[in-house]
Copies of this chain bind each other. A is one copy, B any other.
């Protein structure tokens, strides 16, 4: 038996954002329906970064595997990605390692897709203006996902460096978007009239103020991924409808970790997005409510998204195969 190797370009070639959105939606839904296994993410710490081990299983779909992913912020200086991941998929029937997959590209896609899923289920149907706070790769992928689930008329971009914002604007236009795209140097101005806001900064002090966000907006809070990180003012989070992917991760490292630790926001006030998808809990009820999705990233998203690629390429002739047991 051979193990299939799927590298970055294979993932990019065969995984569409539409696929990834479908995969992530399924992951959230099955998680909330209790049809999955996902032991807590485990961390190992190094001088310059860390390594996270994320096992996940879809019991009924027969999909199982483990993602191993690092975060090394200084990698940029030497031209390596900050985050590099490997996903191993395992045959549930025998335990055989059926595939080794570049997890970097899968992680990017499933993280972008999360914004698409949340926007689809939580944003107002008449949303027109899409704002990005932070304009790096995550903003780009969120854009690809959001435009799959609605039709934006205006795009607002703000980030700390103008070049980054301009590059995102160029990418959006080059890819064929024909609506208006504006780059802002003032964050408050960029949020004016924004219906959908996606924040992807590594901020440790809240940068989005409650008074800047219009009634009825939906916010995808993507940036916070560690203790102490927070992009939205606590007043904003505490007065909005908050949706999470998973409580343990959200309370430890998600957007809500700081207000939760301060005792200002409790689990009972937050709804797992999977319950909205499964129709076992309400999503947005009123048009003038603000909804926030706190995305922390689940191993389940990685495994199902990787499996989708695996299913597409497994019979292809030009897929690389290795023989670990030989």
* Chain A residues within 8 Å of B, Cβ to Cβ: 1, 5, 7-9, 37, 39-40, 42-49, 51, 53, 55-57, 64, 66, 68, 70-72, 75, 78, 80-81, 83-84, 86, 88, 90, 92-97, 100, 102, 104, 320, 322-326
Not counting A46-B64, A51-B90, a sample of 9 additional A-B residue pairs whose C-beta atoms are within 8 angstroms of each other reads A40-B42, A46-B93, A48-B93, A55-B68, A75-B94, A84-B96, A100-B100, A102-B325, A104-B325
Residues of B within 8 A of A42 (CB): 39-40, 42, 53, 55
Residues of B within 8 A of A102 (CB): 324-325
- The residue from B78, B86, B96 contacting A80, defined by CB atoms under 8 A apart: B96
B95 touches A324 (CB 8 A): no
Within the complex, what minimum Cβ distance (angstroms) separates A50 from chain B?
8
Bound-state CA distance A305–B57 (Å) is 28
Residues of B within 8 A of A325 (CB): 7-8, 81, 84, 102, 104
B49 touches A95 (CB 8 A): yes
Number of copies: 2
- The residue from B1, B43, B70, B83 contacting A90, defined by CB atoms under 8 A apart: B70
A51 touches B44 (CB 8 A): no
- The residue from B39, B45, B48, B323 contacting A37, defined by CB atoms under 8 A apart: B45
Bound-state CA distance A39–B303 (Å) is 21
- The residue from B70, B78, B97, B320 contacting A84, defined by CB atoms under 8 A apart: B97
Which of A64, A80, A95, A325 has the largest number of chain B CB atoms within 10 A? A95
Bound-state CA distance A95–B46 (Å) is 9
Given contacts A80-B96, A95-B75, A97-B86, whether A322 and B7 have CB atoms under 8 Å apart is: yes
Given contacts A51-B90, A94-B80, A95-B84, whether A5 and B324 have CB atoms under 8 Å apart is: yes
- The residue from B47, B48, B66, B324 contacting A53, defined by CB atoms under 8 A apart: B66
Residues of B within 8 A of A78 (CB): 94
Residues of B within 8 A of A55 (CB): 42, 44, 51, 53, 68
Residues of B within 8 A of A100 (CB): 86, 100, 322, 324
A68 touches B44 (CB 8 A): no
Within the complex, what minimum Cβ distance (angstroms) separates A65 from chain B?
8
Within the complex, what minimum Cβ distance (angstroms) separates A243 from chain B?
26
Residues of B within 8 A of A7 (CB): 322-326
Listed from nearest, the 3 A-B pairs whose CB atoms lie closest are A70-B95, A39-B42, A102-B324
